[in-house]
A = this chain, B = another copy of it.
Amino acid sequence: MTNFEEKTIQSKQIFKGRVINVQVDEVTLPNGKTSNRELVKHPGAVAVIAVTKENKIIFVEQYRKPLEKSIVEIPAGKLELGEEPIVTAKRELEEETGYTTNELELVSSFYTSPGFADEILYIFFTDKLELLTETKDLDEDEFVELMELSLEDALELIKQQKIHDAKTIFAIQYLQLKGMK
């Protein structure tokens, strides 16, 4: 393509948080003018599409403060510094669902909001689940409720907007394209 690169003139740190950092970059535009870009830096995250032996999809319901409501999502969590996504995926699966697996297949990755954030999400699939004999602790500020649903029930929750986020809708489409009934 035409080179539309935006070179950084200066970068101003606005906020260093526990999860996100925020900065405003002054940039040179392709036409030589300048503009400001507001950027959220995020460590990246993983999510797991997990299907049980009984052909149910595993979800967790949790309260999402930015939305001020609970929604139903596939298990997910943030990457820790330097951590391989597959390691995070296994840990989040264990902590949030009580299942584990040694077979996680990376099926996709995508940026969630490329207009303002660098968050990338790695999505894994497994249908080789085993129950953990001991449950693992969630993060101390994390509260989730496990749900196992048929594809049909999941589609109904999309209609009700109880399932209402990008990664979970991706997951349902992925399973439909894979031929799940």
Contact = CB atoms under 8 A, between A and B. Distances in A.
Interface stretch (A85-93, A96-104, A106-114, A125-133): A106-114
A45 B4 CA distance: 22
A14 B19 CA distance: 14
A118 B67 CA distance: 6
A35 to B, nearest CB: 4
B176 A45 contact: no
Interface residues of A, number: 69
Copies of the protein in its oligomer: 2
A170 B167 contact: no
A149 interface: no
A157 interface: no
A112 B110 contact: no
Contacts of A105: none
Contact of A4 (B15, B18, B63): B63
Contact of A169 (B30, B108, B117, B118): B108
Contact of A65 (B1, B39, B78, B166): B39
Nearest to A147: B1
Nearest to A162: B1
Contacts of A73: 114
**Top 8 closest pairs, chain A to chain B, by CB:** A166-B166, A173-B173, A4-B63, A35-B141, A37-B65, A17-B38, A66-B118, A64-B114
